[in-house]
Chain A
Amino acid sequence: AQSVTQLDSHVSVSEGTPVLLRCNYSSSYSPSLFWYVQHPNKGLQLLLKYTSAATLVKGINGFEAEFKKSETSFHLTKPSAHMSDAAEYFCVVIAFSGGYNKLIFGAGTRLAVHP
């Protein structure tokens, strides 16, 4: 079965410092992986996705993630945090079933950015 585990429920960084949000996945086939962001009282916005092309995926707002099959990881990074990055981040894997798919979400990581 497909699953993702987000290793940190809360991450706190100072503005201008790097961000690392960790995600490990479990998949019985080559996975499609996503990172979504949810700002307070907002919907879910796609940051980036991996679909078996380049292992380093660039997303919006300076975020990127690297797919590492040997480590079954898909960690999200950003070189320099901005106050507006404070939000909940979800690592997501697609589960395929009979030609249809559904998203399996991790528990989420709440990112706090301090001045």
Chain B
Amino acid sequence: EPEVTQTPSHQVTQMGQEVILRCVPISNHLYFYWYRQILGQKVEFLVSFYNNEISEKSEIFDDQFSVERPDGSNFTLKIRSTKLEDSAMYFCASSAGTAGYYNEQFFGPGTRLTVL
């Protein structure tokens, strides 16, 4: 069964460093998402991406964050200068569409980011 994969599973970085979280969505999906879950808190929407453009972003997704689909398979989230409060589990998701049957979002296993 097709699945969303994410690498690495755990990333430890120093404050101020850049990190890139990688995701491989399901191959025939067109819509891509990043969510994050700070320990003990809700899962929060960060950004959605379609047709090589950001379609929506949350207030959390400031200038320190960027997303890219560098090739036909990968979808990345970059944090330019990490802060302690960026420590969280980051989930990538993808969907075939946005309506009806096709709006189901399939999630990857997550990347746990720890900023020291």
CA distance A54 to B72 in the complex (A): 37
Contacts of A99 in B (CB 8 A): 55, 98
The reply to whether A100 and B42 contact each other, CB–CB distance below 8 Å, is no
Report the interface size for chain B: residues with CB under 8 A from the other chain. 27
Interface assignment of B91: CB less than 8 Å from any CB of chain A: yes
Q: Say yes or no for A49: interface residue by CB 8 A criterion.
A: yes
Q: Identify which of A57-65, A66-74, A103-111 touches chain B.
A: A103-111
Contact B109 A106 (CB under 8 A): no
In the bound complex, residues from chain A placing their C-beta under 8 Å from that of B65 are: none
Closest to B106 in A: A46
Chain B residue with Cβ nearest A100: B55
Render B7-34 as a binary contact track against A, CB cut-off 8 A, 1 for contact.
Answer: 0000000000000000000000001010
Instruction: Give residues of chain B (26-59) contacting chain A, Cβ–Cβ below 8 Å.
Output: 31, 33, 35, 41-45, 48, 50, 55-56, 58
* Interface membership of chain A positions 73-115, coded 1 if the CB is closer than 8 angstroms to chain B and 0 otherwise: 0000000000000000010001011111111111110000000
